[in-house]
Amino acid sequence: MKIVVLTGAGMSVESGLSTFRGGGGLWDNYPVEQVATPEGFAANPSLVLEFYNKRRKELQGKKPNKGHELLASLEKEHEVIVVTQNVDDLHERAGSTNIIHLHGELMKACSSRNPNDLRQVRTLPSHSAEIIIGDKADDGSQLRPYIVWFGEAVPLMDDAVLALRNVDVFVIIGTSLNVYPAAGLLNYVPAKVPVFLIDPNDVEVRGVRGVTVIRKGASDGVEELIEKYLKHL
């Protein structure tokens, strides 16, 4: 079967990373417009670089959880494409091999003049690697985090829509479906394709279609998805 999985911050909660919304979320502690917009970066690049340097370092001590690992193990028998809103590298480290990072990657840096020029995108050597003022991209511009900020285009959305071609099962894990265009991916899933949503809390799914809700955390939820559903599809 071809399985496409849309993951969000909740996927990494059991690995010790915080979500964005809901109690104690990242956006409770940091003003989005200052650390996650191009205007914020232009106004105070050091603050933004430090914010992502801190998140990258925080990621260093974290490990993939059972949910990441179970998704990776599905590749033994199925074609699995992970479309993630997360910028962490936990899906990679769990062994998933077909990942589309809609909102960028914490372990990469790009040109601030042309963030979407892939020739300028470089992988940082380690989780402790920092980007500081004065670090330059090959085009001479200030290096910036390879993150899609609010108000910026989501260049990989087309790839995510293409990934849905001939999909057999669509799974949503750990996202409040608040942010577009990522949340709109569900609208491209053909009506006959079963959709599962794994989240310990209620998530409003816009649009009218049947969604099977597994009201659990990512690890237990993916386990139930496999045992109770995928094995019988």
Catalytic positions: 103
Please tell me the distance from the alpha carbon of residue 81 to that of residue 163, in angstroms, as a whole number: 7
Q: Under the criterion CB under 6 A, does residue 103 sit at the interface with ligand APR?
A: yes
Stretch that binds ligand APR, among 71-79, 112-120, 155-163, 195-203 (CB under 6 A): 195-203
Task: Among 14, 88, 89, 105, indicate the residue that binds ligand APR (CB under 6 A).
Answer: 14
Residue whose CB is less far from ligand APR, 167 or 218: 218
CB of 11 to ligand APR, least distance (A): 6
Tokens of 159: 């790839």
User: What minimum distance in Å lies between the beta carbon of 177 and ligand APR?
Assistant: 7
What torsion do the CA atoms of 30, 32, 33, 36 make, to the nearest 10 degrees? 110
Q: Strands across the sheet with 79-84, in order?
A: 99-101, 79-84, 2-7, 169-173, 195-198, 212-214
> What is the dihedral angle through the alpha carbons of 109, 112, 114, 115, rounded to the nearest 10 degrees?
40
- Taking residues 156 to 175 in sequence order and writing x for each that binds ligand APR by CB under 6 A, - otherwise, the string is ------------------xx
- Judged by CB under 6 A, how many residues of this single chain contact ligand APR? 23
Instruction: Please identify which residue in 5, 6, 8, 110 interacts with ligand APR, judged by CB under 6 A.
Output: 8
Q: Which residues contact 27 (CB under 8 A, 6 or more apart)?
A: 20, 21
Which of 47, 161, 143, 41 has the alpha carbon at shortest distance from 100?
161
Nearest to 188 by CA among 228, 159, 154: 159
10 binding ligand APR? (CB under 6 A):
yes
200 contributes a contact to ligand APR by CB under 6 A? yes
Q: Give the start-end residues of each E strand in 92-161.
A: 99-101, 104-111, 122-123, 143-147
- For ligand APR, the binding residue among 69, 89, 105, 199 (CB under 6 A) is 199
106, 217, 225, 230: residue in contact with ligand APR (rule CB under 6 A): 217
| Residue 170 C-alpha from the chain's centroid | 16
Q: Which amino acid is at 93?
A: R
Tell me the closest approach of the beta carbon of residue 203 to ligand APR, in angstroms: 5
Start-to-end C-alpha separation, the chain: 9
Q: Which is nearer to ligand APR, 8 or 115 (CB)?
A: 8
- Residue with the CB atom nearest ligand APR in the bound state: 10
Does 154 interact with ligand APR (rule: CB under 6 A)? Answer: no
Rule CB under 6 A: is residue 22 a binding residue for ligand APR?
yes
Q: Which residues bind ligand APR (CB under 6 A)?
A: 8-10, 13-14, 19-22, 25, 85, 103, 174-176, 178-179, 199-201, 203, 217-218
